[in-house]
Chain A
Amino acid sequence: MSEHRTPPPVSTMLMRGLFEENPIFRLALSLCPAVAVTTSVKNGLMLGVAVLVVQVLSSMSGSLVKHIINPKIRIPVFTLLIAIWVSAMDMILAAYFADIYQQVGLYVKLIVAFAIIISRMELFSMKHSVVPCFWDGLGMGLGFLVGLVLAGAFRELLGSGSIFGIAILPFKPLLLVVLPAGGFFTIGLIMALFNWVDVKRGHKLPSGGGGAHG
């Protein structure tokens, strides 16, 4: 159980999270923040960075402690590790980034319940040493970050006619996408886009459509 497998090359570990196993659009994991905080690029970026940091730290610390914990309490210990990093992240963001924290605060706290983090610990950290865990966590976190920023940019541009709060268009093309309901439409459309790209590249769609169905 504690034997390390040979890790895949760094580039694979990084790219996997970005496209093939993109946590939001392919694995359909941790969808709540994808819909909730992406009303602007800034919010998406902030939560994305928070998830990235928590993912990397959790994966690495999970890998460090896997030899010394009893397998029977693996899940509680992993949850606890995530909760520590999330609490730390929460305190730091609340102290130094108060204005954005006001808008995404609840979702920062809820990172602790994001399935993507614990599932990476289970699937990857248990079998690999610290350094590959760093790359894998970074890949997955980046995939998440890119997903959030993409959705955020799409919604902010169409809904508010701006990017990063800077007005780009003189009008608001589609107010709907920034409304509460718009998040669902946006994510649905981007998922379909990912599928479409896959079809064009000649891949077969996984059964059930948008990746593993929750």
Chain B
Amino acid sequence: MTCVPGKPVVDQAPPSGREMVIIAAGLTVVCLVAAMILGGLYFVTQPAKEHNLHVREETMIRGLLGLTPQARIQEVRRYLKREGKDTQVIYLTGKKLAQLELDGKELAALDVPGDVTAAGSAEAKDEWVKKQIKVADPEHLKYAGRFFVGIEGSQPAGYVVEGVTLGFKTWVRFFMAIDSSYTIQGVEIIEHEEDPGLGAEIVQRYFKNQFAGRSLADIEKISVIKDPLPKDWQTALEQLGDMPFRPWAEKYREMLPKNPNIYAITGSTISSTAVTVGVKAALGNFRKRMNIVEKYL
């Protein structure tokens, strides 16, 4: 068996007591050294990892919203606090930490210090929130989702909502860009484990760009169909990304009503439907949440 490293286990004389101590001590030392080397490396790579992730997300958001380089991106994090029957929702925006009843009634609102707003890592923000909100058990306060606001000058220029949906295999995580009238400007798949050649095609422009340009009303009644994707529509879809959303939507304005539904990827109807359902839910929920959170932005 070539798979076995080394020789098969042969019966050896059991090591003497002294030898055993030396072996154990030797292994312990090796393990300690290993732990120290890796720990050191961890301290170097962890911040780099977080920084790169942050940069990657920002680039994606800027691309989706077509922001100018001067624009600012503000993350809004949502938490749920559950104690017994009582559930509260907590929003951490750029300015406020708002603690709200489920129907939106304000319980408390704190100003957020600048260093928390500017913190790149999610962990730093979560730590701060946990310090402000008193709970009996840390398990009762949980991060529940987030979205981003693109700020051009001092005006919001659009929103990017993070959504998750159960795909064919595991979770599919996506970003969805929308303007202030809840029209989708683009969808970007961030993480998925769908099959290459099949479900993995959801990352392709000819699929994900089918959501762009659709309003809340369009999305609410959209469905997934198995018809073949028309050639001219595919050509149009491939353009978005090379050109920003607004000129694209202007150029292909009359194409959208002709293609009111989402064309499923051949052989991957489940993945296509999963993304559509996810987008639908994310948009609907975001509209409801926006009514409450808007005044804290």
Contact = CB atoms under 8 A, between A and B. Distances in A.
- Asked if A and B touch directly (CB within 8 angstroms), the answer is yes
Interface of A: 27-29, 39-40, 69-70, 72-78, 80, 83-84, 87-88, 91-92, 94-96, 98-99, 102, 115, 118-119, 122, 159-160, 175, 178-180, 182, 212-214
Given A96-B48, A214-B3, A39 B15 contact: no
Given A91-B42, A98-B56, A27 B2 contact: yes
8 contacts: A29-B3, A72-B19, A88-B38, A98-B49, A98-B53, A115-B3, A182-B197, A212-B2
Q: Helix, strand, loop or mixed for chain A's interface?
A: helix
Contacts of B191: 102
Interface of B: 1-6, 12, 15, 19, 22-23, 26-27, 30-31, 34, 37-38, 41-42, 45-46, 48-49, 52-53, 56, 191, 195-198
A94 B23 contact: no
Q: Which of B23, B45, B53 has the most CB of A within 10 A?
A: B45
B196 A39 contact: yes
Contacts of A102: 191
The 3 closest A-B pairs by CB, nearest first: A95-B49, A178-B197, A118-B5
B24 to A, nearest CB: 9
Given A70-B23, A95-B45, A115 B5 contact: yes
Contact of A175 (B5, B12, B197): B197
B30 A77 contact: yes
B2 A95 contact: no
Contacts of B37: 84, 88
Contacts of A182: 197
Given A95-B45, A119-B5, A178 B34 contact: no
Nearest to B196: A39
A96 B45 CA distance: 8
